[in-house]
Amino acid sequence: GQNIDQPTEMTATEGAIVQINCTYQTSGFNGLFWYQQHAGEAPKFLSYNVLDGLEEKGRFSSFLSRSKGYSYLLLKELQMKDSASYLCAIMDSNYQLIWGAGTKLIIKP
C-alpha cells in the first residue's frame, strides 16, 4: 500500500529552527514535494527532491534519503508568517501526487 507519515502538529519559537519529518512507502518514486498551505489558501509549492541530499532555498531546506524513505523540511530563522500547514507529497510511478495529511506548524513569539 501507499503511506505517507508526518507529525500532525509542531510548535516552535520565532527566530528558531524547526525540522518537519516525512516518511513514506509508495508504489514507485518520481520525486518528493513540500508544499506550504496557510489556512483558507491554496497550497504553495516549496521544494522538489528526486535525488538524495539537501536542497537549500533561502530559509527553507529539504532533504531526501530514498533508501530510508525519509525526507525533512528545515525552516530556519522562523517568522510568524511561517505558521501554516506543511504538506509532504510523493510523485508515484504514474506521475501522480500522493499527499500526506500535513503538519500544522505553530510559531510562538
| Whole-angstrom distance, CA of residue 92 vs CA of residue 89 | 9
* Parallel/antiparallel/unpaired status of strands 18-25 and 70-75: antiparallel
**Phi, psi (rounded to 5 degrees) for 40:** 80, 5
Task: Please report how close the Cβ of residue 61 comes to another protein at its closest, in angstroms.
Answer: 18
Q: How many CB atoms lie within 10 A of CB 96?
A: 11
Give residues 89-108 in contact with another protein (rule: CB under 8 A): 91, 96-97, 99-102
Task: Please report how close the Cβ of residue 99 comes to another protein at its closest, in angstroms.
Answer: 5
Mask: binding to another protein, 17-56, rule CB under 8 A, as x and -?
A: -------------xx-x-------xxxxx--x-x------
Task: Please report how close the Cβ of residue 72 comes to another protein at its closest, in angstroms.
Answer: 18
Q: Does 59 bind another protein (CB under 8 A)?
A: no
Q: How many CB atoms lie within 10 A of CB 56?
A: 12
